[in-house]
Amino acid sequence: MPPPRRRRGAPPEPLPGRRGRRPVKKKGKAKKVLLWTGGTMAFVLVAAAGAAYLYIEHLNGNITSVADDGASTGGFQKDKAINILLIGTDKRTGSGNEGYGDSGSVGHADTTILLHVSKDRTNATALSIPRDLIVDIPDCPTTREDGTKEIIKGSTGVRFNTSLGQDDRTPSCTMRTVTELTGITPDNFMVADFNAVKTLTTAVGGVDVCLGKDINDPDSHLNLKKGMQHISGENALAFVRTRHAVGFGGDLSRITLQQNFLSALMRKLKSNDTLSSPSKMIKLAEAGTKALTVDAQLDSINKLKDLGLELGKLNVKNLTFTTVPVVDNPAEKVKATVVLNDASAPQVFDMIKNDVSFTAVKTQKKKEAAAVAARLKGTKADASEVRVRIFNGGAAAGSAQAELEYLQNDEGVLKSENAGNADKELKKTTLEYAPEQADQARRLAAIMGLSGSALKPGESVANSQGLPTMTLTLGEDFKEAGVSLTTPTKAPEGVQQSTADKVECAK
C-alpha cells in the first residue's frame, strides 16, 4: 500500500522508531532576490515561490515591454557579467504626480543608473549618469508602437536626459547613448516612473533615511527634520526629487540623495519580514509589474525571475554606488551642465568593462594575486631577445602594424613581425608563449602593461624565418600603441562612492 500523500511543502514523516527532528529552515533563493534588488525586481518573487498559474498570468499582463531595437547584447546570460540600465523618467503620469517634473514632459532620462554585476556575482557597481552631462546621442533605429521602424537622427553636444523622450526617442536610444559614452553595452533595460518609488516604498511599509540637516524644499514638497526619518509614498518620491535643499543644490547632489534612498530600501528589505508576509509579496508584485517598463527580452515573470535569481547571489555590502566623474562645462559662464572628467572617467569605465570590483572582494583578489605571482614574477629577457608575432584579434584596423612599429622603434623589440588578422576576435589582449619563453613573456608584459591573466602558457609557433616565437593577439581592449593595458584595480582618487550596507546622511 503506497504511503499517504502529504501536502506540498510539508516536512516528511519521521521513520518508524526514530524521533522526528525539526527541519532546518533554509534561506530561499527568492529572499536573496528581493534583498538584493531593493524592490525593482520584487515582483519576481511570486513566480520564484511557485504561486498559482493564473496569478502569474495576471502579473504577465501587467508587464509593459518595448523593443530594444538591437541596442542591447540580446539579454543577460547566467555565465557572464550582467549590465542592466535602470532609467527613471520625469513623465507626470499617474494619480497625484501633477506637482512633479516638467509640465507636459514626454519623460526624459531624468535618473539613470548602469548596474554592473560581476561574472562571479561577488560584487556589483551602480553607476549614476548625470542627466545634465553633455554627450553625443547616436542615430537611433526605433520601432514604433504600430510596428513601423525609423531612424531618429542623433545629436551632438546635448544633455544626456534628452536621449529619452526628446524627438520621440525610446529607451533603446538611451541604451545606445550609454554605450557611446562608456563603451559598455547593456544587456537589458528597465524604466520606472514616479509611481514606482511611491508604490514600492508603500508596499514594504516605508524606509528609514538619514538627514544631516533640516530640509524644507517647496519645489519637491519635502519637509523633514534632521536625523533618521521614516518615508514612504509621496514623501519618498519627494525625497528622491529633492535637489535645491541639499548639497550644492544641483543634480549631482540629488544623485547622492537617490543613492542613499536605494541603499535604505535594500537595508529595509534585508531587515524586515517582507517575504514571510503573503500580503506584502502580492503588493510588491503588483507594484513592480505596473510601475516598470522593460525591454522585450524581459517580457515575462519567468524571465524576470531568472534575472532576479542571478542578481540575488550578490552580498549587498559589495554593491558600490558611484557617479560618472564630471567637471563643470568650461563652455558656460553660468554653470548648468557638466562634461566628462577626462582624468578619471575613463578609468571608472574601464573598471566596469573589465569586471573590476570597487570593493575589496577577497576571492577575486586572491585569484588575481595568484595569476600575477605565477606568471609575472621572475627574470625578464632583454627586449632585443623578445621574439613575437602580432595578430589583430578585435582591435581597430591597423593596430597590429602600429604596435609593431612602437615595439621596434621605441622599445627595441626588433624580433617582431605583423602576422595580420587573427582567426577570431577576442575581448582582451593575450600573449601565448612556451615555458622556455617565460622570461620573454614577462619582458613584453612589462612593456605593454599586460596583466597576469593576459599571459597564456602554451606552445610556441614558428615565425617567418622558422624560429620559435610567441603569439600576441590584440583584443578589443587594445587602445593604441604605447598605451598600457593594465586594468585599474581601484577607483581613481576623489571619485564619489558608497556601499549599500552603510547608512549615509544627506547634507
Is the separation of the CB atoms in 362 and 370 below 8 Å? no
pLDDT of 218: 81
If one counts the domains in the chain, the total is: 2
Q: Name the percent of the chain in helix, strand, coil, to the closest 5.
A: 35, 20, 45
CATH code of the domain containing 444: 3.30.70
Amino acid identity at 251 = D
Low-confidence stretches of the chain (pLDDT < 70) are 1-55, 91-106, 247-249, 268-278, 281, 361-373, 487-489, 507
How do beta strands 415-421 and 387-392 pair?
parallel
Residues 169, 261, single domain; the answer is: yes
CATH code of the domain containing 235: 3.40.630.190
pLDDT of 139: 97
Gap between the Cα atoms of 107 and 165, Å rounded: 5
Residues 112, 150, single domain; the answer is: yes
> Is 379 contained in some domain?
yes
What count of Cα atoms within 13 Å lies in the side-chain half-sphere of residue 311? 27
Is the separation of the CB atoms in 416 and 408 below 8 Å? yes
Residues 418, 340, single domain; the answer is: no
Residues 178, 221, single domain; the answer is: yes
Q: Dihedral of the CA atoms 143, 146, 150, 154 (nearest 10)?
A: -60
Backbone angles phi, psi at 131, to 5 degrees: -70, -25
Gap between the Cα atoms of 209 and 197, Å rounded: 14
Residues 413, 465, single domain; the answer is: yes
pLDDT of 96: 52
Gap between the Cα atoms of 287 and 289, Å rounded: 6
pLDDT of 369: 63
Cα distances from 290 to residues 40, 76, 152, 195, 302, in angstroms, run 11, 22, 28, 9, 16
Gap between the Cα atoms of 226 and 137, Å rounded: 41
Rounded to the nearest 10 degrees, the angle between the axes of helix 362-375 and helix 438-448 is 120
107: which residues sit within 8 A by CB, 6+ positions away?
Answer: 89, 90, 91, 93, 164, 165, 193
Expressed as residue numbers, the domain containing 175 is 65-271+316-360
Is the separation of the CB atoms in 195 and 164 below 8 Å? no
> Is 437 contained in some domain?
yes
> Is 506 contained in some domain?
no
pLDDT of 481: 93
Residues 392, 439, single domain; the answer is: yes
Alpha helices by DSSP H, listed for 411-496, are 438-448
381: which residues sit within 8 A by CB, 6+ positions away?
Answer: 439, 440, 442, 443
Gap between the Cα atoms of 116 and 16, Å rounded: 52
Q: Residue 85's beta-bridge partner residues?
A: 114, 189
Gap between the Cα atoms of 86 and 279, Å rounded: 27
Rounded to the nearest 10 degrees, the angle between the axes of helix 194-203 and helix 278-291 is 180
Given 360, 394, 417, the domain boundary residue is 360
> Is 36 contained in some domain?
no
CA–CA–CA angle 131, 250, 256 (5° rounding)? 75
Residues 329, 462, single domain; the answer is: no
Burial 14-35 (b: 16+ CB within 10 A, else e): eeeeeeeeeeeeeeeebbbbbb
> Is 172 contained in some domain?
yes
Is the separation of the CB atoms in 468 and 462 below 8 Å? yes
Amino acid identity at 392 = N
Given 296, 330, 360, the domain boundary residue is 360
pLDDT digits (tens, 9 = 90+) for 222-263: 888 999 999 998 888 888 888 777 766 678 888 888 888 888
> Is 278 contained in some domain?
no
pLDDT of 10: 42
Residues 201, 255, single domain; the answer is: yes
Gap between the Cα atoms of 91 and 291, Å rounded: 12
Count helices and strands (H / E) in the chain: 13, 25
Residues 322, 232, single domain; the answer is: yes
Residues 338, 190, single domain; the answer is: yes
Amino acid identity at 95 = S
Residues 82, 227, single domain; the answer is: yes
Q: Residue 208's beta-bridge partner residues?
A: 230
Q: In the β-sheet with 207-211, what is the strand arrangement from edge to edge?
A: 227-231, 207-211, 505-506
Alpha helices by DSSP H, listed for 119-192, are 171-182
Residues 115, 163, single domain; the answer is: yes
> Is 261 contained in some domain?
yes
Backbone angles phi, psi at 273, to 5 degrees: -105, 35
Given 307, 342, 360, the domain boundary residue is 360
> Is 77 contained in some domain?
yes
